[in-house]
Structure 1
Amino acid sequence: MKLFYLAFAGVLYLASFAGDVFAQSNDNFLTIQLKDGPVVIELLPDVAPKHVAQIKELASKGEYDNVAFHRVIDGFMAQTGDVQFGDMEQGFQASRAGTGGSSLPDIPAEFSDVPFERGTVGMARSQDPNSANSQFFIMFAPGDFLNGQYTVVGKVVSGMEFVDKIKRGAGANGEVTDPDRMVKVTVGKQ
C-alpha cells in the first residue's frame, strides 16, 4: 500500500511540475486579437528580458487594447503600441500617434544577433538606441538593415495571415488614415 501512495504522490508531483512548466512557457506568449483573427507571438526573454518584461506588464494592464497600427508600410512592417496617443477608444490623436510611449520608463537597448525576418517583432525607438518604451513592429518581410540596430523581442508563431491584412498607410512615412487596431492583447496563448 505504501508503494501505491508513493507512486500516486509521484504522479501528482509530476503533474504539478508539468503544469508549472506549461504556465511558465505560456507566459512567454502574447496574443493580439485583430479584426480578422488572433496573432500569437512567442516572446524572447532570453534575448531581450527588459523589453519583454515591459511588454508583458503593459499587456497585463490592458494598455495595448484598442491601440492603432499607426504606421504600416507595405513590404516592410506594421507598427503599433503607442499607448499614450494611439488608443482609439480613449484619447486617440492621429497626428501624434507614434510619438508617445507609456508611463513606464524607456528601456536600454538589448541588441542581439537574432535577424529581422518575416514575422519578427522588434521594438520601435527614436534615434536614441535607448529610447524604446511601448511601441513595437511586426515585419512583413526580412529587414537585414535593422539587424543589430533594433531590439528583437519575439516572433509571430501563428496568425501571420491576419497581420498581412492590416490596413497599409498611404502617407510618405506609412501613416494610416482610419487605422486598424489591436482589439485586445493578452499574455499567454488564448
Structure 2
Amino acid sequence: MTVGGATAQTAETCEAGGPQIEVTVAGEANGPVVIELCENIAPQHVERIVTLAGEGAYDGVVFHRVIDGFMAQTGDVEHGKMGGDMRMAGTGGSSYPDLPAEFSSESFQPGVVGMARSQDPNSANSQFFIMFDPAPHLDGSYTVVGRVTSGMDVVNAIKRGTGRNGEVVGQPDVMESVRVLSN
C-alpha cells in the first residue's frame, strides 16, 4: 500500500539530538550499534522506526541484502524474521501504511541510515539500510533517517551477501534486539 502525495525535498541536514536506537547485532558481526535518528529532516520515518522498535517488531529481523562497498539492508518486519522463509525477505513492510518521501540534502556517507523503498519514492515502510561507503547517486532520492554514532565496526563486520543483488546466502546476521534509548 502506498500513500500518495508530492515528494518532499528540503535543504536541511540531520541535526544532533534526535531519538536514538540501539541495535544489537548477532552473527558474523556481534555487538551494539547506536543510531541517532534525524527527526528534523524525516519526522514521519523517525516516528515509524521508534514505533516499530518500541513494539519489538525489529527484534529477530535479519540483514537480508548486504552489498560490499555499498550497504547492509534490514527491517522487513513482515518477511525478514530469523527462521522464516528467507526467499521473501526484503519484500515486506509492517502493518502500517507506506510513508511519503522526506528527501533532504543530507548525503549518503558511511554510517548514514536510509529508508529502503520500491521504485515509488513514497513507498518506504519499515526497511532501512546502513551505508558502508559513500553513495552520492542516492542523494536526494532516498530518505535519510539517521546515522550511526557508535558501533560502525560492528556494521562493517555484517555478513556480506553473495547471492543475486546482494542477497545473503546461508545464515544471515540478525538484529537480535532493537530498543529506543531516548525519545
Normalised to the residue count of structure 1, the TM-score between the two structures is: 0.83
Secondary structure in 1 matching 2:172: coil
| Structure 2 counterpart of 1:188 | 181
- Structure 2 matches for 1:45-60, cutoff 5 A? 45-60=39-54
Output the aligned Cα RMSD: 1.3
Superposed structure 1 runs of 4+ greater than 6 Å apart: none
1:26 deviates by: 7.6
Instruction: Tell me if structure 1 keeps the 8 A contact 2:18–2:39.
Output: no
1:172 deviates by: 2.5
2:18 and 2:94 map into 1 onto residues whose CA distance is: 22
Q: Is residue 2:65 matched to residue 1:71?
A: yes
1:181 deviates by: 0.4
Compared CA separation, residues 112 and 26, structure 1 to 2 (3 A): closer
Instruction: Tell me if structure 2 keeps the 8 A contact 1:26–1:188.
Output: no
| Structure 2 counterpart of 1:62 | 56
Identify the match of residue 29 of structure 1 among 20, 23, 45.
Answer: 20
* Structure with the higher helix share, 1 or 2: 1
* Structure with the higher strand share, 1 or 2: 2
- Structure 2 matches for 1:136-175, cutoff 5 A? 136-175=128-167
Q: Is residue 2:107 matched to residue 1:115?
A: yes
Tell which deviates more after alignment, 34-43 or 121-130. 34-43
Compared CA separation, residues 61 and 163, structure 1 to 2 (3 A): same
Instruction: Tell me if structure 2 keeps the 8 A contact 1:68–1:180.
Output: yes
| Structure 1 counterpart of 2:120 | 128
2:48 and 2:146 map into 1 onto residues whose CA distance is: 13
The one-letter code matched in structure 2 to 1:160 is M
1:93 deviates by: 1.5
Q: Is residue 2:132 matched to residue 1:104?
A: no
Aligned residues: 163
Query: What percent identity do the matched residue pairs reach?
Result: 60
2:17 and 2:144 map into 1 onto residues whose CA distance is: 19
1:113 deviates by: 0.2
Instruction: Tell me if structure 2 keeps the 8 A contact 1:37–1:159.
Output: yes
Normalised to the residue count of structure 2, the TM-score between the two structures is: 0.87
Unaligned runs of 5+ in 2: 1-15
